[in-house]
Amino acid sequence: MKTLYKLLLFLFLLSFLSACAKKEDVIKIGTAGPFTGDQTRIGQDMKNGVELAVSEWNAKGGVLGKKIVLLSEDDRHDPKEAVAVANKLVSSGVVGVIGHLNSSCTKPASRIYNEKSVPMITPASTNPEITKQGYNNVFRTCGSDDQQGTELSKFVVDVLKKKRVAVLHDKTTYGQGLSEEFKKSAGNKIDVVVSEGVTQGDQDFKPVLTKVKSSNPEVIFFGGMHTEGGLIIKQAKELGIKAPVIGGDGLYGSTLLEVAGPAAEGSYMAFFTPTAETEIGRNFVKNYTAKYGEIETYAPYAYDATNILLKAIAEAKTTDGKKLIDAIRRMKYEGAVGTIEYDENGDIKKAGYAIYTVKDKKFITYDKVK
């Protein structure tokens, strides 16, 4: 009987050690964003970019000889859920995170990752305060709203040559922050005839738009996302408002075209510059579209963010968080969206924005219709 017990104990220990060895044979990274709800499309697009990069690395043997496992968590673009998701990813042993998408989620989640020295690279959160919190683990592959707000104000003042502006925002970290950056950049070159906040998730914006109409604006600036932006564009046209709506990257996406319908024609939005006209950029577009279809928004920025994290692991030859953070900060990366280098805050040194307009139900860069 003792021999049987010893044999069973030996087999148990062997199984346990084997399981531990298998766990050590993988490297976990995380991604978090709005993968359900009204932002599903842009969230899934972001996740697709991450998945594509992971699949390419795994096809070549992974990193440090280990398979990469991607853990995906839905934050439902809710700040409280984002904190819960961040804690879950950290507890699951991820060595880095790609995300979050919304600035209102990224900002509180970044504190959780910072406490554990887990590098976080957001491909979409543009609020300037995200990289000014004193955390050394926070990076982004996109530009920030101080840069975006400047481009938008220049467009309104120098290109459209308009002065009377109604400013609306959705009261979120992103939307309100972008609106403030726009007003700050424009300064006394514009007259803000209305400044109002609306609630994300509302459907009827005609009361505030009636106030906007009475102020006789030449332009309506909206800081917010595509669903509310689409409704504002549509309802403004229904009220007979002729002023075009202009906004930031949150307006860019097929959801705005669906919600606004024909009213979207002639609206404007800033978005990051198109995928780089390089071999890397062209290969990304080819591989992404073959696997997932048309690129929605943030996929190339998520793809580059993932490659930066995995390249840092390969170059540092470790998954130690502090060493990965140092490796990312020192890196000069050539990716799908061009060259990425970081400053001391984790912002990219050179951020490119383009102004887009809607023409024939498509987003095209403004220079193509001038």
Q: State the pLDDT at residue 20.
A: 47
In a shared domain, residues 237 and 302: no
> Is 125 in the same domain as 48?
yes
Task: Confirm whether 282 is domain-assigned.
Answer: yes
Over the stretch 36-48, which tens digit does the pLDDT of each residue have?
999 999 999 999 9
Both 235 and 361 in a single domain? yes
Query: What's residue 14's pLDDT?
Result: 52
- Nearest CA to 255 out of 45, 31, 51, 77 is that of 45
132 plus 243 within the same structural domain? no
Instruction: State which H helix or E strand residue 345 sits in.
Output: none
Share in percent of the chain as helix, strand, coil (round to 5) = 50, 20, 30
Nearest to 363 by CA among 314, 309, 296: 296
| pLDDT, position 367 | 73
The CA distance from 100 to 43, in Å, is 9
Whether 10 is in a domain gets the answer no
In tens digits, the chain (370 residues) has pLDDT values of 555 555 555 555 555 544 444 556 999 999 999 999 999 999 999 999 999 999 999 999 999 999 999 999 999 999 999 999 999 999 999 999 999 999 999 999 999 999 999 999 999 999 999 999 999 999 999 999 999 999 999 999 999 999 999 999 999 999 999 999 999 999 999 999 999 999 999 999 999 999 999 999 999 999 999 999 999 999 999 999 999 999 999 999 999 999 999 999 999 999 988 788 889 999 999 999 999 999 999 999 999 999 999 999 999 999 999 999 999 999 999 999 999 999 999 999 988 899 999 999 999 999 754 4
Same domain for 155 and 228, yes or no, is yes
Q: How far is CA 70 from the centre of its chain?
A: 18
Q: What is the DSSP letter of 158?
A: I
User: Same structural domain for residues 226 and 173?
Assistant: yes
Q: 275: closest CA among 301, 256, 255? A: 301
Domain identity same for 202 and 64: no
Question: What pLDDT is attached to residue 287?
Answer: 98
Whether residues 121 and 46 fall in one domain: yes
Q: Is residue 6 part of a domain?
A: no
- Note whether 123 and 175 are same-domain residues: no
User: Is 5 domain-assigned?
Assistant: no
What Rg do the C-alpha atoms of the chain give, in angstroms?
23
Mean pLDDT of all residues belonging to the chain: 94
- Does residue 214 sit within a domain? yes
Predicted local distance difference test score (pLDDT) of residue 351: 86
> Do the domain assignments include residue 13?
no
Q: Are residues 260 and 303 in the same domain?
A: no
Instruction: Please answer whether residues 309 and 50 qualify as being in contact, where contact means their C-beta atoms are separated by less than 8 angstroms.
Output: no
Number of domains in the chain: 2
Q: How far apart are CA 217 and CA 252, in angstroms?
A: 23
Compute the distance between CA of residue 299 and CA of residue 195 in angstroms, rounded to an integer: 33
- Structural domain includes residue 231: yes
| Contacts of 240 by beta carbon, 8 Å cutoff, 6+ apart | 213
| Residue 285 structural domain | 24-143+276-351
State whether 180 and 214 are in the same domain: yes
166 and 217 fall within a common domain: yes
Residue 345 lies in a domain: yes
Nearest-CA neighbor of 310 among 69, 107, 86? 69
Residue 44, domain CATH: 3.40.50.2300
Cα–Cα distance between 249 and 235 in angstroms, integer?
A: 20
Please tell me the pTM assigned to this model: 0.89
Q: What is the pLDDT of residues 227-253, one digit of tens each?
A: 999 999 999 999 999 999 999 999 999
Alpha helices (runs of H) in 155-261, residue ranges in sequence order: 173-186, 206-214, 226-238, 254-260
DSSP 14-43: HHHHHHHHHHHTEEEEEEEE--SGGGHHHH
